[in-house]
Amino acid sequence: MKSIWTAETKIRNRESLPGDIDTEALVIGGGLAGILTAYYLKQAGIDTVVLEADRIGSGQTKNTTAKITSQHGLIYDRLLRTLGSKKAEQYARANENAIDEYEKLIREKEIDCDFVRCPACLYSREEETLLKREAEAAAKLGIKASFEQTDGGLPFYVTGITKFEDQARFHPLKFLERIAEELTVYERTTVLKVESGRAKTDRGNVTARQIVFAAHFPFMNIPGYYFARMYQERSCVIALEGADIPESMYLGIDKNGLSFRPHGEKLLLGGGSHRTGVNKKGGQYEYLLKQARILYPGCKETAHWSAQDCMTPDRIPYIGRFSNRYTDWYVATGFGKWGMTSAMVSARILTALITGRECPEAAVFSPARHLTVQAAGQLVCHGAHTVKGLAGHLLPAGDAGIIPNCPHMGCRLKYNPDEESFDCPCHGSRFDKEGRLLDGPAQTDCRKK
Ligand code: FES
């Protein structure tokens, strides 16, 4: 089923790369991060081209819940403890600035994209201390945050909420389409390989002084080794009619906590988060629907869809130089569940780096940063999943029409009954029932039997 964003927006077709070209900057990926980066580079006077393998916004931008917020689950208390106040502040400021930047851009250009300022709240049904600590940490870092002992309008008992004021929501595809109008974008052009300052595509070569990898999960394994320091998670959303519409956006911090996000007369209810490739039993949409019927008797589901997110071990995106080997390559990935805000953060940071402007916030997002002990532990856990997935490729292939080994690095794919897809538990590539590629980092379809 299509997301409501896709169903409500018509995005015009763009031509494919007409042949070999030269440009100052090349952005690979026509999602929000790529389009915004190209936009700000162009504003800075840099000739920029965007290449998109499919259509703009056809990746994760269309599957988001489109919350623009500096509230990223329980994060600020942890950042303060593990990174110290300077870096925690950089993270908070970059995300708060991103919200303001969206508003500025939308007002300046009079973009009709349902932008609304509203609070974002964390809630719990059993825990109060963590909510209070998070509110205190965020407030210390300059965010308008507080703990309130109220249900905040949710249809069940909660111990309280951690409320961030002045956050926002919008329609991601209406915004994207308008911003992309000012850019040179080639669609249906797949980048096959990048070597130094040249990208080889299925339509011709692009020579560029600066290259930005903004296509969700970097498809180049070496350098960068992002496959070894990131995995992917999936989560589901259902759109409901006939539910009570809250004014704020909410996210539960308990296990199986739900996400609530108003959109006009509809409520977007999210949950069912799981590592890609680990959903053998399925039932994530059924679970959400069951919860919806308990909370809002008589409500009706009008759409459902799912999103795929790149997760880093310390839950901070990788934004900055791709690797030490190529100083003119840049990357924006690992946005976790916070793709809209992180897209703006990365666009601002990458533009600053490319144009040589000061950007103190860049340090905390640098892909070359050292990991905390806690994050290193997550990395070991990710490695264990990969080893298990790789070992699985020796098992009998089953009766699917494809060889269910991932073309990325060979892990055994797992069937996902919710999406009727074959998903890779190692780094999150996905394929449809015919073995056609749905999500990278793999670049090719599965082999047929
Ligand atoms: Fe890396 Fe499948 S995505 S092995």
Closest CA to 179 of 99, 96, 113: 113
- Whole-number Å distance, alpha carbon 250 to ligand 1 midpoint, is 33
- The residue whose C-alpha atom lies closest to atom 4 belonging to ligand 1 is 409
Task: Report how far apart, in Å, the C-alpha atoms of 18 and of each of 55, 60, 215 are.
Answer: 16, 26, 21
211 token code pair: 């290259």
243 token code pair: 């539910």
- Could you read off the pLDDT of 295-327 as tens digits, one per residue? 999 999 999 999 999 999 999 999 999 998 899
Closest CA to 12 of 201, 178, 203: 178
Can you tell me the mean pLDDT for 353-373? 91
- Whole-number Å distance, alpha carbon 127 to ligand 1 midpoint, is 37
Q: Is 441 a pocket residue for ligand 1 (Cβ < 6 Å)?
A: yes
Can you tell me the mean pLDDT for 94-115? 97
What pLDDT, on a 0 to 100 scale, did the predictor assign at position 404? Answer: 85
- Whole-number Å distance, alpha carbon 389 to ligand 1 midpoint, is 9
Higher pLDDT, 13 or 448: 13
Can you tell me the mean pLDDT for 207-234? 94
Can you tell me the mean pLDDT for 413-424? 92
Structure pTM?
0.94
- Could you read off the pLDDT of 247-306 as tens digits, one per residue? 999 999 999 999 999 999 999 999 988 999 988 888 999 999 999 999 999 999 999 999
What pLDDT, on a 0 to 100 scale, did the predictor assign at position 403? Answer: 75
What pLDDT, on a 0 to 100 scale, did the predictor assign at position 70? Answer: 98
The number of CA neighbours under 13 Å toward the Cβ of 133 is 14
What pLDDT, on a 0 to 100 scale, did the predictor assign at position 122? Answer: 97
- Whole-number Å distance, alpha carbon 61 to ligand 1 midpoint, is 22
Across 80-84, 85-89, 130-134, 220-224, least confident range: 220-224
Q: How confident is the model at residue 396 (pLDDT cuts 50, 70, 90)?
A: low
Pocket residue to mutate for ligand 1, from 408, 430, 443, most atoms within 8 A of Cβ: 408
Q: Is 25 a pocket residue for ligand 1 (Cβ < 6 Å)?
A: no
Whether the per-residue pLDDT at 101 is higher than 80: the answer is yes
Can you tell me the mean pLDDT for 156-169? 96
Average pLDDT, the chain: 93
Pocket residue to mutate for ligand 1, from 402, 411, 437, most atoms within 8 A of Cβ: 411
Q: Scanning the structure block, which residue is given the tokens 């679970």?
A: 287
Percent of the chain with pLDDT over 90: 85
User: How far is the first Cα of the chain from the last one, in angstroms, to the nearest whole number?
Assistant: 29
What pLDDT, on a 0 to 100 scale, did the predictor assign at position 370? Answer: 83
- Whole-number Å distance, alpha carbon 440 to ligand 1 midpoint, is 8
- Whole-number Å distance, alpha carbon 413 to ligand 1 midpoint, is 8
Q: Is 411 a pocket residue for ligand 1 (Cβ < 6 Å)?
A: yes
Closest CA to 229 of 308, 318, 309, 307: 318
Can you tell me the mean pLDDT for 100-123? 97
Q: Is 427 a pocket residue for ligand 1 (Cβ < 6 Å)?
A: yes
